[in-house]
Structure 1
Amino acid sequence: MPVRIIPPTPSAYVYPLLIKHLLHTSMTRAPDQEIVYRDLRRRTYREFRERIGRLASGLTQIGVDQGDVVAILEWDSDRYHECYFAIPMMGAVMQTVNVSLTPEDIAYTIVDSGATTVLFNADFAPLVAKLRPHLEAVRNWVSMLDRPDQPVTAMSVNAEYEALLSIGSPYFPFPDFDENAVATIFHTTGTTGRPKGVHFSHRQIVMHSMAVLVEYGLTPKHGRFHRDDVYMPMTPMFHVHAWGAPYTTTLAGCKLVFPGRYSPEIFVKLIASEGVTWTHCVPTLLQMLLTAPGSESVDLSRLRMVIGGSALPPSLARAAMARGIDVFGGYGMSETAPMLTTSHIKSKHLGGDFEEELRYRIAAGIAAPLVDLRIVDANMAEVPHDGEAVGEIVVRAPWLTTGYLNNPEASEVLWGGGYLHTGDVASIDADGYVRIADRIKDIVKTGGEWVSSIALENIIMEMPGVRKAAVIPIRDVKWGERPLALVIRDPEHPEAISEDDVRLHVASYVERGLISKIAIPENVTFVAELPLTSVGKIDKKTLRALYS
């Protein structure tokens, strides 16, 4: 017998989940709340709502229509925030371009998305001039100036951003349409080949925004997020919608602070001057924040910070907590919009043994509301929830990308067996806490055992005299693979550590039963720096190529 469906009353409004509806709450509760861009601009939500109407109207007047893709090359700004709403709300598609990629890859992503309009900060004018001959489908070029006297070079543009808004009407009639319409596109860089495009619908973004509010509102003590918070992105806005936070915080009606071209010094300045209480970033940026000039004199005790992108090292978590930061881990990926888990600590683990609490703070966390998360073996059978058995994380949730843009083969691999495959190896305990062991491609398969590069990195970074460490697998005739430890010495430590010092330090953890003896690295190399990805994570793809 089929399920029963009662048709709606003809006059009933069948409410589609569209990005425009995220504005209802903030416009009712906080129309005069501030939106701040560095020390350059200060506006209200009321002005923001007027400006997104003008932006949509102006884009329409230069020929942007529903379904068209508008690419953005911009720093984290109030204008980027306006694009997050105006472009998808008018029925077009926003492409957030990763400006840290090579020019060739940037051109590829814009062509792959099918963008016909490009909005760019004048800082990127030389790059845009170089890309322009390769972007034949682009009809409109719109420059964005931080200062009236900012040069744009001699290349012609269709309009300047503020001039475009000046010709637009604030009363643009944002229409209703199918909630499954594509709202955003961005590209994620993998281990091989060109960047892959992921896409998200209005429905997926609204569902993700609501789930984030539920997740961060359910935690009873630490890591809470609420409408009185002051939010500043430290993750670039081109990266997974800045982890969805601009949508979530706008829905909540928070004060928003955008740092522009980000640097640790700017972060520190805005945290102090604007009273920032909520942010997110990768571990590298947290380390930069803690060591930035002037950071030591700034009160960070009101700051709550979720760390993702890569594992939160215990040593870094200790340093952040010593400054009063409520720091904790989260887990997700570009393909998942990104929230999958958050390490909100259960009350029984708070306020007791510090090391036990720390252990939960640095975990990937517990699956968020509506996330169906499984850890499976090669046959898609679930592994025991004992905190020991490991397998691949596979997931379902209402906001996951349904495939890669123009790449059906990779999409089928991503969704093999009806679950999205993350490529991450992890365990899960009886309380539901997920702990990432490694990326499948980064785990060291040696002598019939699997050694977690993340666990070994964390152990090495616990050693006095170490500033940073990365571990990658290298080929070995006898063992198949062995770990190579790449270590940055701490220049402020009084004595320079040696290779044997590192090996002895790891051996002390073997004696305590915390890691296998086979993990002790014969290969230790001291380096001056480690390559980073476009979002500040250690670039193991590059390291594997360098040391293969």
Structure 2
Amino acid sequence: MPVQLIETTPSAYSYPLLIKHLLHTPLAHAPDQEIVYRDSVRYTYRTLQQRIGRLANALAALGVEPGHTVAMMDWDSHRYLECFFAVPMMGAVLQTVNVRLTAEQMLYTLNHARADVVLVNSEFFPLLQAMAERLESVKTFVLIHGDHENPEKMQAPVPFAGEYEELLAAAATDYDFPDFDENAKATTFYTTGTTGLPKGVYFSHRQLVMHTMGAATGLGTAPVQGRLHRDDVYMPITPMFHVHAWGLPYVATMLGLKQVYPGRYQPEVLLRLKARERVTFSHCVPTILHMLLNHALARETDLSGWKVMIGGSALPQAMAVAALEKGIDVFTGYGMSETCPILSVAHLPTAKLQAPLAEQAALRARTGLPLPLVDLRIVDAEMRPQPHDGQAVGELVVRSPWLTQGYLKDPASAEELWGGGYLHTADIGNIDANGSIQITDRIKDVIKTGGEWTSSLQLEDIIGQHPAVHEVAVIGVRDEKWGERPLALVVLKPEMDGQVTEHAIRNHAAHLAETLGVSRYGVLMQVSFVKTLARTSIGKINKRFMRENLEAAKAAQP
């Protein structure tokens, strides 16, 4: 017998899950709430609604139609937030351009996505100059005046159809945003892979609305720690070009929160905005948190009560302790570009809120519990589920309503991503009896020594607890006897430079490895002191680049 479909009254409204519907609640509950950009802009949600309408009218006057792609090149700003809504609400596609890519990579993404219109901050004129003559599909450019002292003196590399604020000022506030299929493409952007060309991922209106609801539920139902609620003040410290700033601007807007946009990330600006605007909720990669914790202004800034979700890379336990000591409610969120991105959050059980900081840090640094509607499991190479006992290890694979359904114009890679009907994260880890996930490494970063797997993340956590260590990355290097050996690339704290030996770091690691039950082959680790660690365009540690550099250096030796 077939399932029974519901009967629909002819006059009933089917309510498609479209981005425009996220605006209903804030306009009803918090129309006078503020949206702030650095020191220069402050307006209400009522004004946001008007500016979204103005932007849509201005783009329509420039020829933008449903199905067209509008690319955005800007720092985190109120303008970006307006584009998050206006462009997809028109039925067009918003391409969030990674402005930290090289000009050649950026050119590839714009041509591959077939961008029709590009909105560009004048600060990126040098990049635009390098691309302009080779852009294949762009018909129109819109100028955004950056934060220059004399923007009129900037030499424009292309003809502009107008300047953003002037176009909005001349446009009407009312725009009739239509209903259409909720599976329509809303956004696209490109992964920041460490090898090969960037891959285009894309998300529909339905997926973005579902992710917004899932993230709001997961973050908002925590009893105390890490809870996101209507009285919070939100400031992203993850680029809006990267997975919609983890989707949190959509969540913040739906909830009607005060929002603060910092522009280009400068530690003194971020810390001053945190203090002046009383920011209570942010998210960033460990590199940014590390930068803020070690900035001179942090010593005189009250950071207590600041909830900071960390993602993109593993949260080192030593960094978590340092943040907790300053009163920061730090915790992990997990996801990837292909997952929209949030899949899980590491909220503490209420009973652990008074535990010693080191014990809390270990829990806050876990991968955490899946959000509602996320089916996350660990499997072996044949896709067989592994037990949730906290010991069995496998690859994390996932299903949820907001995962990218493919890679743009790359069906072969998309099929590999979705092998067996689950999205493959390429992360390995375990799940305990309470459903809490712990990633132990990336598949490509795990080190096989003497036939036994050694987690680079565990070794990094151990070395990071040495008081002289500023940063560390552990990679596997080839070894004739052992197959691979761990190599720790260590950046010392400035005052400890030259004061600590490689032998001291190895002894520290060997002692803790034995205590914590890490693979015995971890003691074969080599240590090399470096000045900096290689990173991707979004601040992740780039281990592939490090390995390739070391291999190239060895090959060049006589």
Sort the TM-score into its range (normalised by shorter chain): over 0.9
Residue aligned with 1:547, SS: helix
TM-score norm. by structure 2 comes to 0.96
Aligned equivalents of 1:344, 1:232: Cα separation in 2 = 20
Query: Could you say what secondary structure the match of 1:86 adopts?
Result: helix
Counterpart-to-counterpart distance in 1, 2:6 and 2:72: 43
Q: Which amino acid aligns with 2:462?
A: I
The answer (yes or no) to whether the contact 1:464–1:493 under 8 Å persists in 2 is: no
Structure 1 partner of 2:92: 92
1:368-407 alignment runs, 5 A limit: 368-407=371-410
For residue 288 of structure 1, report the CA deviation from its aligned partner: 0.5
The residue matched to 2:332 in structure 1 has which SS?
A: strand
1:32-56 deviations in Å (ceiling 9; x for gaps): 1111000011111111100010000
Q: Say if 2:440 and 2:455, in contact at 8 Å, map to a contact too.
A: yes
Of 510, 517, 527 in structure 1, the residue corresponding to residue 520 of structure 2 is 517
1:318 aligns with one of 314, 317, 321? 321
The letter for the 1-side match of 2:258 is: K
CA shift, 1:376, in A, is 0.6
Residue 212 of structure 1 is matched in structure 2 by 215
Q: Contact 2:192–2:536 (CA<8 Å) still a contact in 1? A: no
Matched, 1:308 2:314: no
For residues 433-512 of structure 1, what are the structure 2 equivalents within 5 Å?
433-493=436-496, 496-512=499-515
2:490 maps to amino acid: V
What is the distance in 2 between the residues matched to 1:495 and 1:128? 43
Aligned residues: 548
For 2:510 and 2:151, the matched residues in 1 are separated by: 57
1:276 aligns with 2:279: yes
CA contact (8 A) 2:194 2:536 kept: no
Of residues 150, 161, 180 in structure 2, which corresponds to 1:158?
161
Give the match for residue 55 of structure 1: 55
Give the aligned residue type for 1:47. Answer: T
Aligned to 1:101: 101
Q: Distance in 2 between matches of 1:177 and 1:339?
A: 26
Per the TM alignment, residue 541 of structure 1 is displaced from its structure 2 partner at its CA by 2.0
3-state SS of the aligned residue for 1:159?
coil
- Deviations, residues 456-483 of structure 1 (Å, cap 9, x unaligned): 0110010121111001111111221111
| AA at the equivalent of 1:108 | Y
- Aligned-pair CA distance for 1:495: 6.5
Unaligned runs of 5+ in 2: 552-558
Instruction: Give identity over the alignment, percent.
Output: 54
User: Distance in 2 between the 1:246 and 1:494 partners?
Assistant: 41
Instruction: Return the match for 1:295 from 298, 310, 318.
Output: 298
1:535 to 534, 538, 546: 538
1:286 maps to 289
TM-score normalised to structure 1 length? 0.98
CA contact under 8 A between 2:243 and 2:341: conserved in structure 1? yes
Deviations 1:248-289 (A, max 9, x none): 000000001000011111110100111000000011100101
Provide the residue aligned with 2:529 in structure 1: 526
Q: Deviations over 1:186-205 (max 9, x none)?
A: 00022431000000000000
Give deviations 1:40-94, integer Å, cap 9, x for gaps: 1111111110001000000000101000000111000010110000000011000
SS of 1:492's equivalent? helix
2:556 counterpart residue number: none
Query: What is the alpha-carbon distance in structure 2 between the residues aligned to residue 534 and residue 440 of structure 1?
Result: 21
Match of 1:420 in 2: 423
1:499 is matched by which residue type in structure 2?
E
User: Counterparts of 2:357 and 2:79 in 1: how far apart (Å)?
Assistant: 42
- Check whether the contact 2:487–2:528 (CA below 8 A) recurs between aligned residues: yes
Distance (Å, rounded) in 1 between the aligned partners of 2:112 and 2:386: 39
Aligned residue in 2 for 1:173: 176
Q: 1:368, CA displacement in angstroms?
A: 0.8
Q: Within 1, Cα distance between the matches of 2:179 and 2:125? A: 35
Deviation at 1:522, TM superposition (A): 4.0
Counterpart CA distance in 1 for 2:19 and 2:374 is 21
Cα distance in structure 1, aligned partners of 2:494 and 2:195:
35
- Matched residue SS, 1:175: coil
Structure 1 unmatched ranges of 5 or more: none
Q: Distance in 1 between matches of 2:126 and 2:539?
A: 24
The 1:323–1:179 alpha-carbon spacing in structure 2 relative to 1, beyond 3 Å, is same
User: Is 1:357 equivalent to 2:360 in the alignment?
Assistant: yes
Aligned-partner SS, 1:233: coil
CA–CA distance in 2 between the matches of 1:12 and 1:370?
Answer: 27
1:298-350 CA-to-partner distances (Å, cap 9, x unmatched) read: 11112001101111101000000000001011110000011111001122333
SS in 1 for 2:494: coil
Alpha-carbon distance in 2 for matches of 1:323, 1:185 = 38
Instruction: Give 1:504 shift.
Output: 0.4
Structure 1 residues 478 and 278 mapped into 2: Cα distance closer, same or farther (>3 Å)? Answer: same
The correspondence of residues 121-160 of structure 1 with structure 2, limited to 5 A, is: 121-146=121-146, 149-151=150-152, 152-154=154-156, 155-160=158-163
Q: Within 2, Cα distance between the matches of 1:319 and 1:522?
A: 26
Written as runs of structure 1 = structure 2, the 5 A alignment for 1:76-87 is 76-87=76-87
Q: 2:242: which partner in 1?
A: 239
- The 5-angstrom pairing of residues 184-199 of structure 1 reads 184-199=187-202
* Deviation, structure 1 residue 357: 2.4
Q: 2:140 & 2:166 partners in 1: Cα distance? A: 14
**Bigger shift: residues 242-251 or 291-300:** 291-300
Most deviating of 2-11 and 54-63: 2-11
The alignment partner of 2:518 has SS state of: coil
Q: Provide the C-alpha distance between the structure 2 equivalents of 1:242 and 1:66, rounded to a whole number of angstroms.
A: 24
Kept in 2, the 8 Å contact 1:489–1:496? The answer is no
With over 3 angstroms needed to count, the CA separation of the structure-2 counterparts of 1:513 and 1:248, relative to structure 1, is closer
User: 2:554 corresponds to which residue?
Assistant: none
Q: Distance in 2 between matches of 1:156 and 1:208?
A: 38
What's the CA shift for 1:493? 3.4
Which residue is equivalent to 2:41? 41
How far has the Cα of 1:353 moved from its partner? 4.3
Q: Are the equivalent residues in 2 in contact too, given 1:244–1:337 (CA < 8 A)?
A: yes
Aligned residue in 2 for 1:347: 350
CA distance in 2, matches of 1:158, 1:281: 35
Q: Partner of 2:555 in structure 1?
A: none
